[in-house]
Amino acid sequence: MPAANVKELTPGELSKRSGAAISALHFYERAGLISSRRTSGNQRRYPRHMLRRVAFIRVSQQVGIPLREIKAALDSLPRDSAPTKANWAKLSAGWRDHLDARIDEMQRLRDDLTGCIGCGCLSLRSCTLYNPADRLGQSGPGARRLLPEDPPAGPADSSGANAVVASGSRT
Instruction: For residues 93 and 24, give the distance between their C-alpha atoms in angstroms, rounded to a whole number.
Output: 26
CA max distance for the chain = 73
Beta carbons within 10 angstroms of residue 105's beta carbon: 16
Q: Assign 37 to helix, strand or coil.
A: strand
DSSP state of 138: G
pLDDT of residue 110: 80
pLDDT of residue 157: 41
Reported as type and span, the H/E element at residue 24 is helix 22-30
Instruction: For residues 163 and 92, give the distance between their C-alpha atoms in angstroms, rounded to a whole number.
Output: 27
pLDDT of residue 161: 39
Q: Assign 164 to helix, strand or coil.
A: strand
Beta carbons within 10 angstroms of residue 118's beta carbon: 8
pLDDT of residue 99: 87
pLDDT of residue 58: 94
Q: Is residue 54 exposed (0-12), middle (13-18) or buried (19+ Cβ within 10 Å)?
A: buried
pLDDT of residue 107: 87
For the chain, 171 residues long, the average pLDDT of each consecutive 10-residue run is: 66 95 96 94 95 92 89 88 86 86 86 63 57 67 55 44 39 39
Residue length of the chain:
171
pLDDT of residue 139: 72
Q: Considering the entire predicted model, what is its pTM? A: 0.60
Instruction: For residues 70 and 98, give the distance between their C-alpha atoms in angstroms, rounded to a whole number.
Output: 13
Instruction: For residues 136 and 132, give the distance between their C-alpha atoms in angstroms, rounded to a whole number.
Output: 9
Ramachandran quadrant class, 152 (left: phi over 0; alpha: psi -120 to 50; beta: rest): beta
Contact 126, 115 (CB under 8 A): yes
φ and ψ at residue 166, rounded to 5 degrees: -55, -30
